[in-house]
């Protein structure tokens, strides 16, 4: 079920307020994944499912008060982030070895002069739809998303997976805009490298 | 002239239209002459779109059923 298959936002919210169970199920299927990503990155794997479940329950109870000032998805993501933040992180994840690659000075993609060491080849699979259809690649992306350092994982989930604007994200994570932009770029750059390596070698 | 390394470091700000005027001009000039960085910016954009549409964790049938029950019960009370 894709987000595109949902009705327009106004109709969507109206029908959800009017007990449309079938539509509710489609909304759950469309947005659960993004909510899970946010919950996982903030609260940790062990309670992510619980956080998302609680976020849905909060949303169900509040949907009649939802005035549509933001998109439904953004509203759900904010509820999830707040729910996750109120819970103590119970699981400490191991430090990602891949994070070491991020060091600006030792980025092996570039020469000391800052030129590409071996160029940057075109991707065989290039359109976003084709990227999404490649199951092995999606598994690879998923695997590496959770290896990102916590703060990068939080921001890429809130921004790119969850679709929140940067001001809202800075408020949720209590970080400055410039810090947020640096973290977001590091996370996106890492994911670009994951896809690039997969395209080049077929390996994750 | 910006180096490739500095150019790609601005990739996110460029895509999100957060670069100031001169930094944007500088970046565009570099992209005009550098195929590798042009590809990088295109690939970064494709990666972001892929992430926005990706479904990385689908809910289980039990989770959906439980939420549907919760939804029905809450709505019947209101």
Nearest CA in chain A to B70: A57
What mean pLDDT do residues A63-85 have?
A: 93
pLDDT at residue A98, as a whole number: 47
- What's the pLDDT band for B24 if we cut at 50, 70, 90? very high
The predicted pLDDT at position B41 comes to 97
Alpha-carbon torsion angle B27, B30, B34, B35, nearest 10? 30
Are A172 and A158 in contact by the 8 Å Cβ rule? The answer is: yes
Would the CB atoms of A2 and B4 count as touching at under 8 Å?
no
Q: Judge contact between A140 and A196, C-beta under 8 A.
A: no
Please report residues of B whose CB lies closer than 8 A to that of A64.
Answer: 78
Q: Does B64 touch chain A (CB under 8 A)?
A: yes
Residue A1: is its pLDDT beyond 50?
Answer: no
**Site from A62, A122, A185 to mutate, B interface, most B CB atoms within 10 angstroms:** A185
The per-residue pLDDT for range A114-169, each reduced to its tens digit, is: 999 999 999 999 888 899 999 999 999 999 999 999 999 999 999 999 999 999 99
Eight-class DSSP state of A40 = H
What are the φ and ψ backbone dihedral angles of A110, each rounded to 5 degrees? -120, 150
pLDDT value for A102: 57
The residue assigned the tokens 């909060």 is A58
Residue A97: per-residue pLDDT: 43
DSSP conformation letters of A177-202: HHHHHHHHHHHHHHHHHHHHHHHHHS
Residues 1-60 of B with CB under 8 A from A: 3-6, 8-9, 11-13, 16, 18, 36-37, 39-40, 43-44, 46-59
């Amino acid at each position: 079920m894709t987000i595109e298959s949902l009705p327009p936002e106004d109709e969507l919210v109206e029908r959800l307020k009017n007990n449309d169970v079938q539509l509710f199920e489609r909304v759950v299927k469309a947005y659960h994944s993004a909510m899970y990503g946010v919950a996982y990155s903030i609260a940790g794997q062990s309670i992510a499912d619980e956080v998302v479940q609680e976020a849905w329950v909060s949303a169900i109870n509040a949907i009649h008060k939802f005035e549509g000032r933001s998109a439904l998805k953004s509203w759900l993501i904010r509820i999830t982030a707040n729910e996750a933040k109120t819970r103590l992180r119970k699981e400490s994840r191991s430090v990602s070895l891949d994070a070491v690659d991020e060091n600006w000075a030792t980025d092996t993609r570039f020469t000391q002069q800052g030129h590409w060491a071996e160029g940057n080849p075109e991707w065989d699979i290039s359109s976003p739809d084709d990227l999404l259809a490649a199951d092995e690649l999606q598994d690879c992306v998923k695997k590496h998303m959770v290896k990102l350092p916590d703060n990068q994982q939080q921001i890429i989930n809130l921004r790119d997976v969850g679709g929140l604007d940067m001001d809202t994200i800075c408020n949720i994570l209590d970080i400055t805009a410039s810090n947020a932009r640096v973290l977001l770029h590091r996370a996106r750059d890492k994911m670009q490298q994951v896809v690039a390596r997969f395209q080049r070698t077929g390996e994750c | 002239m910006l180096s490739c390394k500095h150019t790609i470091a601005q990739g996110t700000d460029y895509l999100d239209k957060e670069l100031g005027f001169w930094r944007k001009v500088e970046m565009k000039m570099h992209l005009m002459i550098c195929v590798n960085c042009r590809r990088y910016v295109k690939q970064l954009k494709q990666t972001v779109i892929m992430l926005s549409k990706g479904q990385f964790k689908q809910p289980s049938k039990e989770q959906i059923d439980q939420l549907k029950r919760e939804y029905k019960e809450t709505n019947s009370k209101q």
